[in-house]
Amino acid sequence: MKYKAPHIITEGGVAYQLGKLRNHEIQYDFKKMLIYLDAKGKLLFGKKFKIHSEDQRILYKLCSYFIKDRDSCEKFGIDIEKGLLISGPVGCGKTSLMKLLRHMVPHQRPYEMIPCRNVVFGFNHLGYKTIEDYGNSCFFCFDDLGVEPPGRFYGKDCNVMGEVLLSRYELYLNTKRKIKTHATTNLNAQELEERYGNRVRSRMRELFNLVAFDKESRDKRK
């Protein structure tokens, strides 16, 4: 589907203009993007949803990534060819933001949100076909990486998400148009290495841009 005006998004009969179109290039306005994200968030998650002022800095980074603002991303050390690894404490809003931000760029290829525990449940039921299925050319965001249960199929243990990430890395490496993988996690870098090993952690550095919430971020679900 082609979008003649991807910077104008209509939700609930209201048109939100996220910027201006000049010479076939969108010049986004962050304040207008926040207005849209707040409105879309309320539609997705209920009237209690709000954009918190303390999250605007990290949200600016994420918005810059999604709209492919190369100059801003360069300042933040973000590679727009890589995926995102969003880390932060429980309840800080990682999952909600990743569910929300994909709606802001309807002209870009969407990703599917997949809870990591569902990937493991699939493996425990179907075996290695599950790992093959997630090593395909779709875009995924794996939610709650690192706290999924152990994988076991016909008596054999498997670090399922570790294997999926290795498959995604091979896919990323061997495609001209990079196949992106995103993820959210409550774990820090050391905990991820303990969970998946040094080899997977090394591949993750090449797969992902790390965008971290402050470790003191409050639980917004309370």
| pLDDT computed for residue 12 by the predictor | 85
Burial class (CB in 10 A: 0-12, 13-18, 19+), 149: exposed
Locus of tokens 């309840």: 91
Cα(46)–Cα(151) distance, integer angstroms: 34
Per-residue confidence (pLDDT) for residue 3, from 0 to 100: 54
Taken in order of first residue, the domains within the chain and their CATH numbers are 8-212 (3.40.50.300)
Torsion sign, CA atoms 182, 117, 163, 147: positive
In terms of phi and psi (left: phi > 0; alpha: psi -120 to 50; beta: otherwise), the region of 178 is beta
Q: What local confidence, expressed as pLDDT, does residue 56 receive?
A: 92
pLDDT tens per residue across span 192-206: 999 999 999 999 999
pLDDT above 70 covers a percentage of the chain that reads 98
- pLDDT lower than 70: segments of the chain: 1-4, 222
For 158, residues 6+ apart whose C-beta sits below 8 A from its C-beta are 123, 128, 151, 152
pLDDT of residue 1: 45
pLDDT for the residue numbered 215: 80
Facing residues of 151 across strands? 158
Q: Show contacts of 19-24: CB within 8 Å, 24+ apart.
A: none
Q: Which amino acid is at 184?
A: T
User: CA-to-CA distance for 195 and 218, rounded, in angstroms?
Assistant: 25
HSE-up of 144 (CA within 13 Å, CB side)? 12
pLDDT at res. 71:
94
Dist CA 205 CA 149 (whole Å) = 23
Convert the pLDDT of each residue in 153-208 to its tens digit: 988 899 999 999 999 999 998 877 788 999 999 998 899 999 999 999 999 999 99
Cβ count within 10 A of residue 215 = 10
pLDDT for position 4? 65
Residues 6+ apart with CB under 8 A from 136: 171
Quote the pTM value.
Answer: 0.92
Q: What pLDDT, on the 0 to 100 scale, is given for residue 82?
A: 95
